[in-house]
């Protein structure tokens, strides 16, 4: 799940406008899938599956969040497999299993953003197709205009290029909320439990996998700063989940 600044701004607005429980379900879809893929260590896979989105809401250019966000979402194994390759202990492999399930080459984000793997969803992915459908949908079913796309380009001052990411965020939130309400009412509690139990274990693995490259690319080789930023991202995400 990757978003533009405009789209994320709307998502933050939605988190206040939607019912209180909705804010807890930001990572629900990834965790829901991970739980069904997982063996006995479900909390580890669930927490690992949310990790690639740690940097989605950080826009400080000093931490080069774009680079470190692209790495785990990457379209090549050279990026998202770094964490799997760094895992050596059994519990690290379990966290890494959830982490790599998220990727955009063949993982969850591939189905969401590249190909939905079903008739009518091959071009653009499931979420992209749903977002396009939303843009063409009338606000009032009784009248053909305005559509959601027209409202986004007008009321939010978004051009056509920005309207799709806005609809993208709404589609992702809608699926998360539906999962929480209809498919798995306890998913939020499990995510919170995963955050409490696994963040501390996950941090050293994330540092081992990415800190050296992050330091070289973004901090002139300053490994301490790279480690600090990665650790801060983990615990910021943990706070959001609990």
What does the pLDDT look like over 155-164, one tens digit per residue? 666 677 788 8
pLDDT reported for residue 20 = 35
Residues of the chain with pLDDT below 50 are: 3-8, 13-25
pLDDT reported for residue 44 = 92
Domain contains 91: yes
pLDDT reported for residue 158 = 66
pLDDT reported for residue 159 = 73
Q: Would you call 9 exposed, middle or buried from its count of C-beta atoms within 10 A (0-12, 13-18, 19+)?
A: middle
pLDDT reported for residue 89 = 92
Q: Would you call 119 exposed, middle or buried from its count of C-beta atoms within 10 A (0-12, 13-18, 19+)?
A: exposed
Domain count, the chain: 1
pLDDT reported for residue 25 = 35
pTM of the shown model: 0.81
pLDDT reported for residue 19 = 38
Peptide bond into 146 cis (omega under 30): yes
**CB atoms inside a 10 Å sphere around CB 195:** 23
Going through 64-203 in order, the beta strands assigned E by DSSP cover none
Domain contains 198: yes
Domain contains 98: yes
pLDDT reported for residue 5 = 45
Domain containing 59 equals 5-126+184-241
pLDDT reported for residue 123 = 80
Domain contains 68: yes
Domain contains 157: no
pLDDT reported for residue 199 = 92
Domain contains 69: yes
pLDDT reported for residue 156 = 64
Q: What is the pLDDT of residues 124-145, one digit of tens each?
A: 899 999 999 999 999 998 999 9
Query: What is the chain's length?
Result: 242
Domain contains 230: yes
Domain contains 159: no
């Amino acid at each position: 799940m990757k978003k533009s600044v405009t789209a994320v701004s709307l998502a933050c607005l939605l988190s206040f406008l939607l019912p209180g429980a909705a804010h807890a379900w930001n990572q629900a879809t990834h965790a829901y899938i991970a739980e069904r893929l997982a063996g006995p260590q479900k909390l580890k896979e669930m927490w690992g599956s949310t990790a690639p989105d740690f940097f989605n809401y950080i826009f400080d250019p000093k931490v080069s969040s774009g680079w470190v966000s692209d790495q785990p979402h990457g379209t090549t194994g050279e990026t998202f497999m770094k964490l799997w390759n760094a895992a050596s202990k059994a519990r690290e492999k379990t966290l890494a299993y959830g982490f790599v399930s998220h990727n955009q080459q063949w993982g969850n984000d591939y189905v969401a953003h590249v190909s939905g793997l079903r008739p009518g969803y091959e071009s653009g992915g499931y979420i992209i197709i749903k977002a396009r459908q939303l843009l063409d949908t009338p606000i009032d079913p009784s009248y053909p205009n305005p559509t959601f796309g027209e409202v986004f380009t007008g009321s939010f001052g978004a051009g056509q290029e920005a309207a799709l990411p806005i609809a993208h965020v709404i589609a992702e939130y809608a699926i998360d909320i539906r999962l929480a309400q209809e498919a798995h009412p306890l998913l939020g509690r499990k995510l919170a439990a995963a955050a409490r139990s696994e963040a501390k274990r996950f941090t050293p693995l994330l540092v081992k996998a990415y800190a050296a490259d992050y330091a070289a690319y973004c901090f002139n080789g300053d490994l301490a700063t790279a480690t600090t930023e990665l650790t801060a991202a983990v615990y910021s995400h943990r706070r959001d989940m609990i």
